[in-house]
Amino acid sequence: MKKRDEINAFLGKNTEFEGKLTFTGAVRIDGCFKGEIVSDGTLIIGEAARVESDVHISRIIISGEFKGNIFAETRIEIHAPGRVFGNLQAPVVIIEEGVVFEGNCRMLKEDMAEDKILAAVS
């Protein structure tokens, strides 16, 4: 793991937290979280986790249950037995076999979206 991806915080199994989470580096959630998450780092949602949130992140790895919308700057990875209910947007989205995904997925870089809007207006 790179220095910037070292786990800085850990919300363990049988814990619950509600609020706004901001961080640098990496955070792992194995408990329950409800609220908002904003970071330029990596978020890891473990198999036992239940997260209900809108997320703006660099990278997210999901193996648990997630409800909400995710905007990732670099990538979204969903691994079995992950369950995701919500909308995804990232340049790279990986959904492993055995995952449950209900929602919309948009794989478009942010700078490309702005170029298309400008082209349509011209």
Q: How far apart are CA 10 and CA 93, in angstroms?
A: 24
Q: Is the pTM of this model over 0.85?
A: no
Cα 90 to chain center, whole Å? 10
pLDDT, tens digit, 9 for 90 and up, residues 48-101: 999 999 999 999 999 999 999 999 999 999 999 999 999 999 999 999 999 999
Residue 114: strand, helix, or coil: helix
For the chain, the domains span 3-121
Instruction: State the average pLDDT over residues 16-22.
Output: 94
Q: How far apart are CA 93 and CA 78, in angstroms?
A: 8
